[in-house]
Amino acid sequence: MSSSEPEFNDAREYSSLEEVMNTLLTAKGKSFRELDQTGRALTGGNKGSLGQIIEESVLKYAINSDAAPDIHIGDTSYELKVTPLKHIKKRQTNLS
């Protein structure tokens, strides 16, 4: 594995929810393009690409199409969901 490729957490296992949250908080304030280590943000057209960027580049596990939950903490499993927000500029109105 080259140094530019992320080391994957193939088992998608974490020791605690706090570990997952602290890992996710490293993405706070960054754009998806800043986080992306795979080039997915540049290709577009895939509605799941934002979640895939979080999976691969932040949580460090390979994307897959299986139905199993994404994150495992002991006997509890969680499914990762990513919802993008779109900033809409406030329109100026002319009140005369």
Q: 10-68, pLDDT tens digit by residue? A: 778 899 999 999 999 999 999 989 999 988 888 777 778 888 999 999 999 888 888 88
Q: What is the pLDDT of residue 40?
A: 85
- C-alpha torsion 87→27→31→54, nearest 10: -100
Query: In 13-48, which ranges are continuous DSSP H helix?
Result: 17-25, 32-35, 40-43
Q: Is 0.85 surpassed by the pTM of this model?
A: no
